[in-house]
């Protein structure tokens, strides 16, 4: 069988017209887009955190007293905790958004399947 054979393409077409397969393909696309976006955001977050880690090291090396070191490190920890909290909230919101989109897509496809049956 040839890969470019028109007959084989024709036999595969009805499978992709199946509403359930279309729903699964849609869900997969939404999931993959969400995953790619989440990975990009996480990489950007880690890059920002590494830059700040390096900056605090330089700041600590320039401190002249224990009080200076305490102030620098306290600010560093406060900023780090705030950024991790914000990033965690973004991840949770993205997960909720993806779940809502999948729910909406599934409900719409289920209605289409039900209409096609009747």
CA torsion, ordered 93, 97, 100, 106, to nearest 10 deg:
-140
Handedness of CA 23, 26, 32, 35 (dihedral sign): negative
* Residue 22 to residue 72: CA distance in whole angstroms: 55
Answer for the pair 49, 83: CB distance below 8 angstroms, yes or no. Answer: yes
For residue 55, the model assigns a pLDDT of 96
Q: What residue segments make up the domains of the chain, in order of their start?
A: 19-117
Handedness of CA 79, 85, 89, 91 (dihedral sign): positive
Tokens 């696309």 -> residue = 29
What pTM did the predictor assign?
0.64
Q: CA distances (Å), 40 to each of 43, 73, 93, 101, in order? A: 5, 28, 15, 20
One digit per residue, pLDDT tens: the chain, 118 residues? 455 555 555 555 555 567 777 777 777 887 888 889 889 999 999 999 999 999 999 999 999 999 999 999 999 999 999 999 999 999 899 888 888 887 887 777 767 666 766 6
């Amino acid at each position: 069988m040839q890969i470019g054979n028109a007959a084989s393409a024709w036999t595969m077409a009805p499978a992709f017209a199946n509403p359930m397969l279309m729903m699964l393909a849609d869900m997969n696309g939404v999931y993959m887009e969400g995953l790619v976006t989440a990975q990009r955001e996480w990489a950007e977050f880690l890059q920002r955190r590494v830059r700040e880690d390096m900056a605090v090291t330089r700041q600590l090396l320039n401190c002249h007293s224990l009080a200076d070191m305490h102030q620098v490190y306290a600010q560093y920890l406060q900023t780090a905790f705030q950024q991790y909290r914000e990033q965690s909230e973004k991840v949770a919101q993205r997960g909720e958004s993806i779940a809502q989109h999948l729910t909406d897509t599934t409900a719409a496809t289920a209605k289409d399947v039900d209409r096609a049956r009747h």
